[in-house]
Amino acid sequence: MLVQKFGGSSLADLDSFLAASEIISKAAKKEKTVVVLSAMYGITDLLEGAISTAVEGGDFRAGLDAINQAEKEILDAAEKAGLDCPKTGTYSKIQHQRLASRLEGIALLEQCPVDVQAEILSMGEGFSSRLMSELLQAQGHDALWSDTDVLPPANDSYSDSLVDVEAAAPLLHQACDGVHNILVLPGFYGVNQQGKPQLMGRNGSDYSATSAAAALNARSCEIWKDVDGFFTADPRVVASARCLDEVSYEEAMELSFFGAKVISAKALTPLMNAGIPCEIRN
C-alpha cells in the first residue's frame, strides 16, 4: 500500500493534473495507491479572501468569479482533450450556488461561523479530488473517490483538527477493499459524525496524507511538491541550500520548527508514530 499526496503547486492546470495522474497510474500498477489531493493552486486563498470580503461588507463576487473561472477553464480543457468530467462539472455548479448563498449569509451576519468557514474552505479539495478521480477514470483507470468520513476527527476543532488514526484504520481499509487499485481522497479536512468538514489547518493536506498512511500502515508516504526534497534551507531563498538524502523524523521536525516550511511537525507525527518513511518528491 502506498500513499501519494499532491500539493496545490503541482495542481495548477490540466497539464499538471495529467502529469500527476501519470505518476499515480504508474504507482498503481505495482500496488494499491491512496491519493490525497490539495486544492488547485490559489483556490483556498481565493475562498478565504471571499469570506473576509463578505465579513467586511465588500463585493465578494470577484472572488467567486475567479474560482468559477478557474474550475470552468480546467473542465473545458479536459473536455477538449477528450477527458470529459461530467460529475465534477455538476459538483462545481452546485458548489458555486452553495458558496454564493453562504457568502450572502456571511455578509448579512458580518461574521463567519467556524463550521461554515470550514465548509467553504474545504470546497477547493472537494473539486480537485473529484476532478482527479474522474480524469483517472476517463483514462481507463480503476479509481474510486471517497469523502473523508474515512479520516474521522479526533477533536472538535473546525480549524485545526486532528485525525483519529485508530478509528480511521478500519474505515480506510474498507474503502480500499475491492477491485479498484486507486482511492482518491480530498486532503485538508475530515468529515465528523454530523457530516460536517473539520479543517486540519492551512497546508493541512500533508497531514491528511500522513494520517492515512499511518492508518493503513502504508509502505511509504510520498509527498509530491515543487521542490526536489527536504533542503537544509528554503531553496527559493537560500541559493546554497543542499537537498538532504535522508533526515530523521526528529531532525526534520527540528528543521521545520526553525522555518523549513516543506513539511510540518504535525504532518510528520503520524509517520513517526507508525515508523513509515516519507519521501518528498518533485
Q: Which residues bind Mg ion (CB under 5 A)?
A: 7, 203
Determine the 3-state secondary structure of 145 from DSSP.
strand
| Residue 89 lies near ligand ASP (rule: CB under 6 A) | no
Instruction: For residue 191, give the DSSP letter.
Output: E
Residue ranges binding ligand ADP (CB under 6 A)? 7-10, 38, 203, 225-227, 230-231, 233-236, 260-262
How far apart are the two ends of the chain, measured CA to CA in Å?
A: 20
| Residue 95 lies near ligand ASP (rule: CB under 6 A) | no
Q: Which residues contact 242 (CB under 8 A, 6 or more apart)?
A: 231, 232
Residue from the set 10, 95, 203, 211 that interacts with ligand ASP by CB under 6 A: 203
Instruction: For residue 180, give the DSSP letter.
Output: -
202 interface partner picked from Mg ion, ligand ADP, ligand ASP, none, CB below 5 to 8 A per type: ligand ASP
Cβ proximity of 222 and 281 under 8 Å: yes
Residue from the set 10, 38, 95, 264 that interacts with ligand ASP by CB under 6 A: 38
- Region 109-128 residues binding ligand ASP, contact defined as CB under 6 A: 124
Query: Of 124 and 270, which CB lies nearer to Mg ion in the complex structure?
Result: 124
How does DSSP assign 196-229, residue by residue? -EEE--TTTHHHHHHHHHHHHT-SEEEEE-SSSS
Query: Of 99 and 223, which CB lies nearer to Mg ion in the complex structure?
Result: 223
Cβ proximity of 205 and 151 under 8 Å: no
Query: Of 175 and 209, which CB lies nearer to ligand ADP in the complex structure?
Result: 209
Which span (23-31, 63-71, 200-208, 259-267) binds ligand ASP, by CB under 6 A? 200-208
Query: Of 21 and 205, which CB lies nearer to ligand ASP in the complex structure?
Result: 205
- Region 236-265 residues binding ligand ASP, contact defined as CB under 6 A: none
| Residue 190 lies near ligand ASP (rule: CB under 6 A) | no
Query: Of 45 and 79, which CB lies nearer to ligand ADP in the complex structure?
Result: 45
Q: Which residues contact 108 (CB under 8 A, 6 or more apart)?
A: none
Residue with cell 499515480: 24
Cβ proximity of 222 and 5 under 8 Å: yes
**Grid coordinates standing for 153?**
476527527
Binding site for ligand ASP (CB under 6 A): 7-8, 38-39, 44, 124, 187-188, 202-205
